[in-house]
Amino acid sequence: MIKLENVSKIYKGDVSALLEASADIQKGEFVFLVGPSGSGKSTFLRLLTREEVPTRGKIFVAGKDIGDLSKWKIPFLRRNIGSVFQDFKLLPNKDVAENVAFALEVIGRPKHVVKTQVPAILELVGLSDKAQNMPNELSGGEQQRVSIARAFVNRPLILLADEPTGNLDPATSVGIMKLLDRINRTGTTVVMATHDRGIVDTMRRRVIELDRGKIVRDQARGVYE
């Protein structure tokens, strides 16, 4: 599903965010990206959505080399990838249902699809009764559920999560991880960058550890360190 071949990303002034990284992630896998701040986790994720272009090496997503993807095809790559962030990135002037619907509307999905998919996904994330609430009326955990709903409503093949529990307390984090686990069980490949030792150690999934841009460990059913 995702394949990196000797990928390097070097920013101006010889700052290397990623160095000769190679990894092969199968469909349906759940992978943790761990490592200290600045080790290249976010760069790893941003390369997959083509927000960054690798300096060297090749990246394949769903069998396609995204390095030579022409500009106008990038949106179609992103429709196969859901993204979740630490800061949720919800639109404050839209309610929960509208925030989720927005993701379908702007890629031109017809109204009847929006009408059926939005309630279904809100049911999945357990927010059916908050559909009409505004984001500022929700707790952090609820807001993150909305953002996961938005990322997943289009049923992408891949879900990328950049520190999705970074702003949440441990109890709430467990709920979010259960949700990501459920999404993973539908066959969606999940790649999650995290600092949360507790989560990684309980879940026992594949762990890729980065240190100063290098992959220093790639372990099935791994722990944080």
- Please report, as ranges, the residues that interact with other proteins according to CB under 8 A: 49, 71-72, 74-79, 83, 89, 91, 102-103, 105-108, 150-151, 154
Distance of CA 132 to the CA centre of its chain: 25
Length of the chain: 225
Q: Which residues are bridge partners to 60 per DSSP?
A: 3, 65
Which position has the token pair 């995290």? Answer: 194
d(CA 193, CA 211): 13
Residue 94, classed as helix, strand or coil, is coil
> Please, where are the H alpha helices in 80-207?
96-105, 111-124, 140-152, 170-185, 197-203
**Assigned token pair, 143:** 């807001």
